A and B are shown apart, each in its own frame.
Chain A
Amino acid sequence: MSASIGSVSRRLCDLSREHFIDPYSRIRWPESVDPDGWYFSPRLLSVHGTAVAGMLGEAGMRRLSLLEALNFFSLNIHGEKQLLQGIAARLYEERFRDASPYLQHFIDEENKHLFWFGEFCRRYGRIYPSRLVTLAAETLPTDVEDFLFFARIMMFEDIVDTYNSQMAADEALVPVAREINRLHHADEVRHRAFGRSLLRHLWREGSTRWSRSTRERVSDSLRLYPGVAWREYFNPDVYRDAGLADPHAVMRTAWASEEAVRRRQEMIAPSIKFLVGLGAIREEQR
């Protein structure tokens, strides 16, 4: 039997206190950035494994790496702002009583990440806008909304952490870029563990009451989400800023490339496996 959400929350609160840091003095921000440095691991760049990478050559890929780092941090800003709104709305709600102590740390740590991402983007480039359309909230029962919200967070964080963990270990990266990825990864390990524990709890508490059609809606929505979350990693604005002639054509080529399809499947596999294991995603949609 899995640990209760209360005990998981208490244990993670202890760990968060142990690892508490001041985000505002933690990173030494260089006055400017060297445009020829690596800010994003080359094998993680969106055009890796495509003809565009060959066309850009190493110098072009280095310049693209700064732009893709800016895009990556921008997407984190957009995602974490939504995450903070959703968690703040649930904080102190009775149904989250046992989880609330850790939700407070969650908010604190996500705010720190936002600060680092925002500083990097504003100092060395810009915040790329998101193209996601916020769809009108569906009229779903609260427990279904809760489950979907935290399941999307888990998938968002799993994708982001794939990048963070690999770039934290990449010695070729410019120190400031590597450090942001390292610090983010260190917190996300706890957040991802909490997310899975909370989802097990929410599923156990709620799903037996859900109708078949509700379960199907949940499964369909979750199966679609990783694609939506990852789609904006392929950003025509980035390709335009990199001086590429037809940014939308580059985007289509990169998104549809074998390398991108393989990486997408690899990145989402842990989330999908977990959700199929719970029963939230139908086996045939795996």
Chain B
Amino acid sequence: MMTASTRLMKLRDWVRGQAGPVDDDSPLLESRLINSLQLVELVLLIEELTGRPIRPDQLLPASFRSIRTIYENFLGGQSRPEEGA
């Protein structure tokens, strides 16, 4: 079973692979760091990391605002992701 911190690490790797050097609070959609096609890929990645489908009512831009909001909404993050990654 993957831990929340492993899921976070994989999420960071993926986002940085797509958008370049971003931090956990960088606004991914507002700043167009992630485009609409990458957003579909991101939804699929989150489902794969958690083994659960994302509910239709969670498919809102606010849920995917930044790495931190994704972590808190979907990946089991309770509070702030650990620093330094």
Point out residues on A near B: beta carbons under 8 Å.
129-136, 224-225, 227-228, 231-232, 236-237, 248, 251
Pairwise interchain contact A224-B36, C-beta atoms closer than 8 A: yes
Q: How far is the CA of A251 from the CA of B41 in the complex (A)?
A: 11
- Tell me which of A133, A224, A225 contacts B59 (CB under 8 A): A133
Q: How far is the CA of A42 from the CA of B58 in the complex (A)?
A: 34
The residue in chain A whose Cβ has the minimal distance to the Cβ of B35 is A224
> How close is B67's CB to chain A, nearest CB, in angstroms?
16
The residue in chain B whose Cβ has the minimal distance to the Cβ of A226 is B37
- Tell me which of B29, B48, B56 contacts A135 (CB under 8 A): B29
Q: How far is the CA of A251 from the CA of B39 in the complex (A)?
A: 16
> How close is A8's CB to chain B, nearest CB, in angstroms?
30
Q: How far is the CA of A129 from the CA of B55 in the complex (A)?
A: 9
- Tell me which of A136, A228, A251 contacts B36 (CB under 8 A): A228
Pairwise interchain contact A135-B40, C-beta atoms closer than 8 A: no
Query: Which residues from chain B contact A237 at a C-beta distance below 8 Å?
Result: 53
Residues of B within 8 A of A (CB-CB), count: 19
Pairwise interchain contact A129-B53, C-beta atoms closer than 8 A: yes
Query: Which residues from chain A contact B43 at a C-beta distance below 8 Å?
Result: 131, 133
- Tell me which of B37, B60, B63 contacts A228 (CB under 8 A): B37
CB of B44 within 8 Å of the partner chain: yes
> How close is A151's CB to chain B, nearest CB, in angstroms?
14
CB of B61 within 8 Å of the partner chain: yes
The residue in chain A whose Cβ has the minimal distance to the Cβ of B41 is A231
Pairwise interchain contact A134-B59, C-beta atoms closer than 8 A: yes
Known: A133-B40, A224-B37. 4 other contacts (CB 8 A): A131-B43, A133-B64, A228-B36, A248-B48
Query: Which residues from chain A contact B37 at a C-beta distance below 8 Å?
Result: 224, 227-228, 231
Q: How far is the CA of A132 from the CA of B43 in the complex (A)?
A: 8
Query: Which residues from chain B contact A132 at a C-beta distance below 8 Å?
Result: 40, 59
Top 6 closest A-B pairs, CB basis? A248-B48, A227-B37, A131-B43, A133-B59, A231-B40, A228-B36
> How close is B34's CB to chain A, nearest CB, in angstroms?
10
Query: Which residues from chain A contact B64 at a C-beta distance below 8 Å?
Result: 133
Q: How far is the CA of A273 from the CA of B82 in the complex (A)?
A: 49
Pairwise interchain contact B44-A134, C-beta atoms closer than 8 A: no
The residue in chain B whose Cβ has the minimal distance to the Cβ of A240 is B53
Pairwise interchain contact B44-A136, C-beta atoms closer than 8 A: no
> How close is A212's CB to chain B, nearest CB, in angstroms?
17
Pairwise interchain contact B44-A236, C-beta atoms closer than 8 A: yes
